Chain A
């Protein structure tokens, strides 16, 4: 099974500053036949379901603000929020969908305002 590990577990950033969350997979999630990384990022606010932000490691979902970006390949990935807004306070999860049906998620990173 692929294990996803996020860092840090929690993060406090000032409004307008950059927030960076890392995700590492225990094996590569890069599918060589199409050169795509099967890695997604979700945002979850209290009492709400996860919301898809990024897929294929770097493709922003429709309607997601462009301050959110994803990068990385193989086993190491990053979610960056370029200028933190108050509404970005949430828990963020990475997820691999390479080894479906055995999806796995990171443990989550709680993002707060400093």
Chain B
């Protein structure tokens, strides 16, 4: 069974840093494309970043230069390092698998972890 479990969220001051983790089971992170998607309180869904199986990474313009996506193959875990955080980064952050077989469809999602940026 595919499972994704995020952790690492919390309260951080503007300008601070936080690292989110997404532990996967039931499949191999390094063999798949993995994304982060966020949702500000009461708002819609916003794609944040993706890492391809080959290691290429891409970011939304809103986080480019501040966030870094990575993975630890030995731990089958995806990460999102978030630096220079702003109030507008406050959101629930979801990790999701992008199924290559289904055209990079986001088919499995974690439960999410809340990041609050506030002084």
Contact = CB atoms under 8 A, between A and B. Distances in A.
A104 B48 CA distance: 10
A56 B107 CA distance: 12
A108 B106 contact: no
Interface string B77-110: 0000000000000000010001000111111011
A8 B104 CA distance: 27
A103 B35 contact: yes
Interface residues of B, number: 22
Q: Which DSSP category, helix, strand, loop or mixed, fits chain A's interface?
A: loop
A49 B106 CA distance: 12
Interface in A21-44: 31, 36, 38, 40, 42
A55 B60 CA distance: 23
Interface of A: 31, 36, 38, 40, 42, 48-52, 55-56, 61, 93, 95, 97, 100-108
